[in-house]
Each structure stands twice: as C-alpha cells, then as structure tokens.
Amino acid sequence: MSNTQFTANNQSNAQLEKKEWAKIGLVTAIVSIVAVLIVQALAIAIWPEIARFRPLDNYLRSAIFTLVPVVGATGLLAWLVGRKTQPLQTFIKISGLVLILSIIPDYLLPDPNKTILASSVTAFLHVVAGAITVSMLVIGYQRRAKRP
C-alpha cells in the first residue's frame, strides 16, 4: 500500500474551516489554470491549425472552464470530508468518472474545425487540469488536516 493510500485510508476526516478550503481551492485554481494555459499555448505553437477548434480558440474560455471544475471539486471534497468515512477515496473515484465524462464532448462537439488532433489536445487539457486539481486538493487537505 502506498504512503498516500495509507494516509488516505487512515485520515481522521478533520474538518477544515471555510477559509482553509478557500485557500486550498485558490492555490489549486491558479496552478491548474496556469498549467492548462501553458499546455494549450505549446500545443497551438506546435499545431497552429488546432486553434480554429472552438474549445481551443480562446484562452479566457480555457481559464474559466478550468476554474469552474476546481471550485466544484473543492466544494465536493469539503462536503465529502464531513460526510464519508473515506472521503479521499470517494473523491478520487468521483473525479475519475467526471474526467472521463468531461472528455466525451471534446469528440462530439459539432464544430466544423474539429479534428481528432484538436479533440485529443482538448481532452489532454482535461487530464492536465484533473490531475493537478485532484492531487493538489488531496495533498492540500491532508497537510492542513494534520495541523494541530
């Protein structure tokens, strides 16, 4: 059993104040948004034609579509901590399912500039945001929950 899994399994479900959750969520949002925008810019620099695909044609939209799920994920984890015996495992499972579901529209969106490459880059941005968001929220919660 990994150290993270051991810690998650033995977490005491310490309640954090709203202020603490806000701090965790804010830092997570900033890091996730910056990472998504960097990856998006690099992908567009490599494959300029993908910028015609609507989900990739606007950095502000990408930032908002990263921010909203981070806020939701932060709220979900805070809610689970107060109601589940194993909130981190539940959070990770729900996050995985949401990630899979969030990728589907990238391939189904009726956009004349949609290509497999553009859809795949967009899906990869979901993975980048999801991995950073979940890991930062879990680690942020674990660190603050251990404080006296």
Residues 80-139: tens digit of each pLDDT: 999 999 999 999 999 999 999 999 999 999 999 999 999 999 999 999 999 999 999 999
- Residue 67: CB atoms within 10 Å: 18
Contact 128, 41 (CB under 8 A): no
Contact 11, 145 (CB under 8 A): yes
Q: Virtual CA dihedral for 81, 26, 35, 134, nearest 10 degrees? A: 0
Residues 7-43: tens digit of each pLDDT: 444 445 778 899 999 999 999 999 999 999 999 999 9
CA distance 28 to 129: 10
Residues 41-91: tens digit of each pLDDT: 999 999 999 999 999 999 999 999 999 999 999 999 999 999 999 999 999
